[in-house]
């Protein structure tokens, strides 16, 4: 009976799957052709490749012109996105817990201020941030961009984590404290597992936002030593006299591969973010 019910449910879901496949087909074809175009050559004005080549990917083993090697740039991007994600998770998970569980004076005012901070686009603050980084000596450094990006991402992270902590029953923590566990042990072993989907989703969003960030690295760290992939990719277009469209596409594919891999590994956590804390 259970098998029959499952088959019936799967049969009913086929129209939805088919509709999503039809809607997604143009995007799939576009990305497939985008990749094929990086490993082939075509005659001018033709959409059909006439030869297979890997010369568009030679940026992986040699620098192109006066541009830096792609690997230090990729490492900068990875360090930038990973560090921002770690900072956002650490601060948001602890600050959200404090705001959810402790009777902090001015808690409502603080939460309102957090959302007001998140409402300001980073572009409107870029001049003030630029001046501050120059004064403290962090302009044109990866550390300065990391701190700025993490600060801009934290307000939403704190607000989201506070909401998820609110869904975790007090009884779980009281039971742990009654058994002799410290507040930190209760937080680490009992509370955090209840909001793990939210932590995973928040970390993924913070990583993707940092990985694709362009304005802050371009304005606050324009030097070659702190360059990230988004700035490197934009520099390929800026050189109008020697613009290589095939190289631009190949670097673009290289840029999105880590994002696709990350999404494949963590997509189930994105699907479970609506669940909040467990009541069990």
CA distances from 33 to 30, 40, 55, 232, 233 (A): 5, 10, 17, 23, 19
pLDDT tens readout for residues 16-27: 788 888 888 888
- Helix then strand then coil, % of the chain, to nearest 5: 75, 0, 20
Q: Is residue 61 part of a domain?
A: no
User: How does pLDDT run across 41-52, given as a tens digit for each residue?
Assistant: 877 766 677 788
DSSP assignment of 170-218 equals HHHHHHHHHTT--HHHHIIIIIGGGGHHHHHHHHHHHHHHHHT--HHHH
CB environment 11-36: b (16+ within 10 A), e (fewer) = eeeeeeeeeeeeeeeeeeeeeeeebe
pLDDT at 27: 85
- Give the DSSP letter of residue 62: S
Taken in order 18, 20, 25, 26, the sign of the CA dihedral is positive
Q: Could you tell me if residue 45 is inside a domain? A: yes
Asked if residue 137 belongs to a domain, the reply is yes
Query: How high is the mean pLDDT of the chain?
Result: 83
Q: Are residues 205 and 242 in the same domain?
A: yes
Q: Which domain holds residue 23?
A: 13-53
Decide if 1 is inside a domain. Answer: no
Q: How many domains does the chain have?
A: 2
Are residues 164 and 213 both part of a single domain? yes
Q: Do residue 97 and residue 163 come from a single domain?
A: yes
Residues 162 and 244 in one domain: yes
In this structure, the answer to whether residues 31 and 123 fall within a common structural domain is no
pLDDT band at 272 (very low <50, low <70, confident <90, very high): low
pTM: 0.83
Return d(Cα 207, Cα 215) in angstroms, integer.
Answer: 16
For residue 110, the domain's CATH number is: 1.10.3720.10
Residues 163, 134: one domain? yes
| pLDDT tens-digit map of 84-95 | 999 999 999 999
């Amino acid at each position: 009976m259970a098998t029959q019910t499952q088959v019936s449910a799967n049969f009913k879901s086929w129209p939805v799957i088919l509709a999503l496949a039809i809607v997604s087909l143009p995007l799939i074809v576009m990305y497939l052709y985008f990749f094929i175009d990086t490993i082939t050559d075509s005659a001018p004005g033709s959409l059909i490749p006439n030869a297979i080549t890997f010369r568009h990917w030679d940026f992986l083993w040699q620098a192109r012109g006066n541009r830096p090697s792609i690997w230090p740039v990729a490492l900068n991007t990875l360090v930038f996105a990973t560090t921002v994600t770690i900072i956002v998770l650490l601060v948001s998970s602890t600050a959200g817990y404090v705001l959810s569980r402790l009777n902090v004076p001015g808690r409502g005012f603080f939460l309102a201020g957090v959302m007001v901070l998140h409402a300001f686009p980073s572009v409107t603050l870029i001049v003030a941030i630029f001046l501050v980084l120059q004064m403290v000596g962090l302009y044109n450094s990866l550390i300065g961009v990391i701190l700025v990006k993490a600060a801009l991402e934290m307000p939403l992270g704190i607000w989201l984590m506070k909401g998820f902590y609110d869904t975790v029953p007090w009884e779980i923590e009281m039971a742990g404290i009654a058994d002799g566990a410290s507040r930190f042990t209760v937080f680490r072993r009992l509370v955090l597992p209840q909001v793990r989907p939210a932590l995973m989703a928040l970390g993924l969003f913070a990583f993707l936002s940092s990985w694709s960030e362009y304005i802050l690295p371009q304005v606050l760290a324009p030097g070659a030593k702190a360059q990230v992939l988004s700035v490197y990719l934009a520099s390929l277009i800026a050189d109008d006299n020697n613009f290589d469209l095939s190289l631009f596409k190949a670097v673009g594919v290289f840029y999105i591969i880590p994002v696709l891999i990350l999404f494949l590994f963590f997509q189930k956590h994105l699907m479970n973010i609506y669940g909040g804390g467990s009541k069990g």
